[in-house]
Structure 1
Amino acid sequence: MSFHKQKTITEELKFRGVGLHSGKFANLSIKPASPNTGIIFKRIDLKKNNIVIPHVNNVSSAVLCTTVSNEYGVKISTLEHLMGALFGLGVDNAIIEVDSEEIPILDGSAKIFVEEIKKIGLRSSEYPIKVIKINKKIEIKAGEKFISIEPSKINLEIDFELKYNNQLIGNQRNSLQVYEDDLTDTFNSRTFCLFEDIEKLKTLGLAKGGSLDNAVVVKGDKILNEKGLRNEKEFVNHKILDCMGDIYLTGYKIIGKILCSQGGHKLTNDLMRKVLQEENNYSIVEIKENLLPHIYSKKINLKSIA
C-alpha cells in the first residue's frame, strides 16, 4: 500500500453501543468515502440539516467530551475516541452515520474501532495526503494548565503530563512519536474517573451510560475494575488518545511537537483554533513521495500548496 496516498476503509463497518453521557443506545456506521472528502458525520435520525463537519471551529462544547455542531444546532458528541482511531490508523476519508447525538462509548477506548478497521483494512487512492506543518511555536496557559505546539521536522510528537491528587493516579507523563511508535497502548487506554466524582457527574446530567464496562473507576488507592489497568500508563495514555482525536478536528495530520500539562479537550481545541487563526502559524503541504516515518522511509518530500 502507498502510505503517502489518501486512504479510506475497504467496506462499511457497523457498531452499536451506549452513549457515555446520554445513556442512549446508538447505531453507528463508518462508510468508505472518495478522496478529498475528509471525515463527515451524518445524523441519520434527522431528515434534514443533518451533516456535521468535525472541525475545530465547529466545537460547541469541550466539557468532559468534545461536541461539534453545525449551523442548525445539530450535534455530534463524544467523537474524540473514534477520531483518534481514524487519525492513528491513517484514515483520511470516511462518512460516519449515527442515529443519535452521541457516539457509542463501546469499551471507553478506541480499541474496538481500531480492531474492526484493521480486520477489513484500508484502500489507498491516487491522491496524496495533505498535512499541516507548524511554522512557529504557539502556546496557551490556563492557571497550572499548559499546552504548546512548535515546529518538528517530520513527525508529530505528543508529550503529555497528568497530575492528580489521587494517590493511585498521581503524576504520569508519556511521550509518543505518533507516526513511528506502536500506538496499541494509546488505542487501548480507557476513559477514567474518580469514584467520588460519579454522583456529581450524574447530577449534571452526565455519565448516564457510564459503567465499569466502559470506564476505569478509581476509589482511593484501588481500581474498581476487576481486571485492573490495561497498561502501566493507561491514564495519561488515554489523555494522549483524546488529544489525537481533538487535533484531527483540524482536518489534517499534523507535523509538529505538542507539549501539554494537565490539559484536556478545551485546551487542545483552544490551541488548534489559535494555530489556524493566522496563516503564518502553519503551512498546508502535500506529501509527494515517500513520507511520514511510519511509512518506514527516512526521506520526505513536501510540496507546499498553501
Structure 2
Amino acid sequence: MTYLTQKTIKNSASFSGVALHSGKNVNVCIKPAEPDFGIVFKRVDVKKNNIVYPNFANVTNTSLNTTVSNEFGVKVSTIEHLMGALFCLGIDNALIEIDNEEVPILDGSAKKFIEKILLAEIQVSNSPIKIIKINKEVEYSEGDKFISVKPSTLSLDIDFQLKYKNEIIGNQRNKVKVYEDDLKDVYNSRTYCLYEDIEKIRHNGFAKGGSLDNAVVVKGAEILNPEGLRNKKEFVNHKILDCIGDLYTSGYRIVASVKCSQGGHYLTNQLLRKVFQNKENFSILEIKEKNLSHTLINRQLLKSIA
C-alpha cells in the first residue's frame, strides 16, 4: 500500500453545528466507502432521491457558497470547506450523511473538519488513484475578474489575488503548491465579510447563522473579532481554501497551475465547465507507483495540518 492508492476514512467522523446561511443546526457524519465510490452526500432527512453528487455539473448556486443539487431538487450547500479538507487529506471515497441542506460552518475554516477526520484515521486501499491532468490552457473572465488553468508537471499550484478598497484587506496575493507546501494557514483561514455588507447579505437571505465565532468581520480599519487574524494573509488564504474545495468538484485531484484574480465560487465553477467541454483540455490518468514513484500527489500532509 502506498500514498498513491485511494484512501477513505477509517472510522466515522461526526460534526454538529450551525449552518452559516440558513442558521439551522445540522449534523454530519462522514463514513468509510469502498475504492472508486467517490465523495457522495446523502440527505438522511429526505426519504427518497436523497443522493447528491458534488460534481461541478451539479452546482446550482455559487452566491456566497457552493451548492450542489440532484435532478430531484435535493441540495447540499456550503460544501467548499469540507471538500477542501477531503481534497488535501487525500480522501478519495466517503459517504457524507447530512440531516439538512447545508454543511455546518463550524469555525469558518477547514480546521475542525481536518482535526476530526485525522482523529478518525485514514484507511489506505490497494486501488490506484486517478488524477486529472490539464493538457491545454483554459481561461474564464468577467470584467476585471479572471481565472485560468494551464498544464503543470506533477503539482497543483494556485496563485490567487484579492483586490479590496478596504485598507485591512487591500491587495493580498499568495501562491501555494498544494501537494508540497505547509498548508496550515490555508486550512485555518476563516470566511470573512465587510461589516457594511452584513445587512445586505442578510436581507438577501444569507448569513443567518453568521457570527464572530465563524467569520472574520472587517469594519473600516478594524478587525471586530477579539482574537484578530490567524495569519497575515487570512483573507486570500481563505479564498485559496474555497478554490481547492471547488476544484474537487471535478471528481479527482488535479495536476495543473491555477491563477485567479478577484474570483470565487462562480469563476471556479465556470472554469471547470469550460475545461470539461472539450476532451482535448484534460486527461484522466490512473496513477501507479511504477509510473510516478517520485510524485508528491496524494501525499498525506499530516505534519502540515496537525
TM-score, length-normalised on structure 2? 0.95
The residue that corresponds to 1:192 in the other structure is 192
What is the Cα deviation at residue 292 of structure 1?
Answer: 3.2
Written as runs of structure 1 = structure 2, the 5 A alignment for 1:201-220 is 201-220=201-220
Q: How does 1:281-300 map to 2 (within 5 A)?
A: 281-289=281-289, 290-293=293-296
Q: Distance in 1 between matches of 2:16 and 2:66?
A: 20
Judged with a 3 Å threshold, the aligned counterparts in structure 2 of structure 1 residues 29 and 295 are, in CA distance, closer, same or farther, namely closer
Match of 2:49 in 1: 49
Q: Does 1:103 align with 2:106?
A: no
Q: Distance in 2 between matches of 1:144 and 1:13?
A: 41
Structure 2: which 5+ runs fail to align?
Answer: 300-306
Match of 2:84 in 1: 84
**1:192-219 alpha-carbon deviations (Å, 9 max, x no partner):** 0000000001110110000000000000
* Structure 2 counterpart SS, 1:293: coil
1:6 match: 6
Partner Cα separation in structure 2 for residue 273 and residue 245 of structure 1: 15
Q: Which amino acid aligns with 1:137?
A: E
Tell me what 1:61 maps to.
Answer: 61
1:108-159 Cα deviation digits (max 9, x unpaired): 0000001111222211111000000000100011001010000000000000
Q: Please tell me the root mean square deviation across aligned C-alpha atoms, in Å.
A: 1.0
1:295: how far off?
6.5
Between 1:3-12 and 1:116-125, the stretch displaced more is 116-125
User: In the aligned structure 1, how far is the partner of 2:176 from the partner of 2:210?
Assistant: 28
Unaligned runs of 5+ residues in structure 1 are: 297-306
Residues 226-241 of structure 1: matches in 2 within 5 Å? Answer: 226-241=226-241
Cross-structure match for 2:128: 128
* Contact map agreement 2:19 2:105 (CA 8 A) in 1: yes
The list of structure 1 runs, each at least 4 consecutive aligned residues, that deviate by more than 3 angstroms after superposition, is none
Query: 2:200, 2:79 → 1: CA distance?
Result: 23
1:300 maps to none
Question: Could you tell me which amino acid in structure 2 is paired with residue 97 of structure 1?
Answer: E
1:35 matched to which residue of 2? 35
Is the contact between residue 179 and residue 292 of structure 1 (CA under 8 Å) also seen in structure 2? no
Deviation per residue, 1:77-106 (Å, 9 max, x gap): 000000000001100000000000000000
SS in 1 for 2:2: coil
What CA distance in whole angstroms lies between the structure 2 residues aligned with 1:13 and 1:295?
Answer: 21
Note if contact 1:4-1:288 (Cα within 8 Å) is conserved in structure 2: yes
Question: What does residue 280 of structure 1 align with?
Answer: 280
**What amino acid is the match of 2:296?**
P
CA contact (8 A) 2:154 2:297 kept: no
Percent identity for Structure 1 against Structure 2: 62
- Residue 261 (1) aligns with residue 264 (2): no
**Which amino acid is the alignment partner of residue 264 of structure 1?**
G
CA distance in structure 2 between the aligned counterparts of 1:8 and 1:106, rounded to whole angstroms:
22
Q: What is the TM-score of this pair, normalised by structure 1?
A: 0.95
Q: What is the rounded CA distance, in whole Å, between the counterparts of 1:110 and 1:179 in structure 2?
A: 17
Asked if the contact 1:4/1:291 (under 8 Å) is kept, the reply is: no
| Structure 2 residue aligned with 1:301 | none
Deviations 1:41-92 (A, max 9, x none): 0000010000000000000010010000000000000000000000011000
